[in-house]
Amino acid sequence: MRIKPEQAIHELQSGGIVALPTETVYGLAASIHHPEAIQKVFAVKGRPSDNPLIVHISDLAQLNDYVKQLPPAFEKLAQAFWPGSLSLVLEADTKVIPDIVRAGLPTVAIRVPSHPLTLEVLAKTGPLVMPSANLSGKPSATAAQHVVDDFGDAVPVVDGGECVQGVESTILIYRNNRWVVARQGAIRIEALEEVLGYRPELHTNPDKPLCPGQLYRHYAPQATLTELDREKSGAVVGFSDREYPWASKVYLLGKSSDPEVVAHRLYDVLRQLDKDQVSAAMVDMDFPETGLWRTIRERILKAAS
């Protein structure tokens, strides 16, 4: 069910949940002032309660009400990337940010998204939690129709078009005097390096992730995904400037020279595999190890695991 921003504002203020567009992926929103609505977000997604939620705000000025100390270079990051696809994990004012949002942690992840419709809603509702608007474990939703496919009428959605970026925000945590990348995402590590003056380390211990959510299966279609093998026939997820003459069917991500388009299309392609009831697909992983490609590779590997 599609609703207008005004209806979304009304729903959220009266303790309901709605899906909102962001520039990364669609979010499943509830007001931080309505714990019962937040409970519902966990329930409809099938999300484990130990996986905390990102709090979205429209204005930096609101921040002081919700967090304690701001780490060094916070202002630089906020200035460079907000509104936008960066989430920063900060020390929470635990009296104001409910336990359920933080999954009991002393910290809270914060983001100022840039989609105009959602900024309009946030300006009226105040802070909203917004996990990605997909069933837990499935690829995130990058179009209003994806939200409808996952939740039907249980979640009304504000249709803001296709998400420009198509992969989730990059999450940074400050530890041991450095910002660390806890989840790769739409903001490239190279862009962070330019602003910070050092390259933030990528935290890669899968048994002890900095984001609790990374313990869980993610972004995954029904199909078993494996790396492209030119000896085998079958469905292929690949690039529009390459040929796969032996493939039984090809799902195109875009050109191998255009990571922005590939990121933008990735979840739609993974969802298309499910729609076509594909049981196995091979993915062309022959692309660079830099920039946005790093995020794309990480998402594909997660989807395959």
- Site residues for ligand TXA per CB under 6 A: 22, 24-25, 27, 51-54, 87, 89, 102, 105, 107-109, 111, 113, 130-132, 168-169, 171, 182-183, 210-214
In the complex, minimum distance from the CB of residue 244 to ligand TXA, in angstroms, rounded to a whole number: 31
| CB nearer to Mg ion: pick between 132 and 184 | 132
Judged by beta carbon distances under 5 to 8 A according to partner kind, the member of ligand TXA, Mg ion, none in contact with residue 184 is none
- Can you tell me which residue has the tokens 């390259």? 199
Is residue 214 close enough to count as binding Mg ion by CB under 5 A? no
> Which one, of 121, 123, 133, lies nearest residue 44 by Cα?
133
- Which candidate, 8, 6, 64, places its Cα nearest to that of 37? 8
Stretch that binds Mg ion, among 99-107, 126-134, 232-240, 289-297 (CB under 5 A): 126-134
Residue 24 interacts, among Mg ion, ligand TXA, none and using kind-specific CB cut-offs from 5 to 8 Å, with ligand TXA
Instruction: Name the residue nearer to ligand TXA (CB basis): 250 or 266.
Output: 266
* 91 DSSP 8-state letter: E
Q: How far is CA 103 from CA 53, 62, 125, 223, in A?
A: 8, 22, 22, 31
Minimum CB distance to Mg ion smaller for 22 or for 132: 132
For 293, phi then psi, to 5°, come to -60, -35
**How crowded is residue 231: how many other Cβ atoms within 10 Å of its Cβ?**
5
Rg of the chain (C-alpha set): 19
Q: How far is the CB of 53 from ligand TXA (least distance, A)?
A: 6
Order of strands, sheet of 54-56, starting from the edge strand that comes earlier in the sequence:
18-20, 27-31, 128-129, 54-56, 107-111, 86-91, 170-175, 178-183, 201-202
184 binds Mg ion (CB under 5 A): no
109: its two tokens: 């992840």
| Least Cβ distance, residue 108 to ligand TXA (angstroms) | 5
As given in the structure block, the two tokens for residue 92 are: 């929470």
Q: Which is nearer to ligand TXA, 120 or 276 (CB)?
A: 120
Nearer to Mg ion, 31 or 132 (CB): 132
Paired with 238 in beta bridges are 252
- For residue 67, give the DSSP letter: B
3 vs 211, beta carbon nearer ligand TXA? 211
The DSSP element (H or E) to which 180 belongs, if any, is strand 178-183
Q: Which stretch binds Mg ion (CB under 5 A): 33-41, 76-84, 124-132, 186-194?
A: 124-132
- Work out whether 132 is an interface residue with Mg ion (CB under 5 A): yes
- Using CB distances below 5 to 8 A depending on partner kind, what does residue 212 bind out of Mg ion, ligand TXA, none? ligand TXA
Enumerate binding residues for Mg ion (CB under 5 A): 132
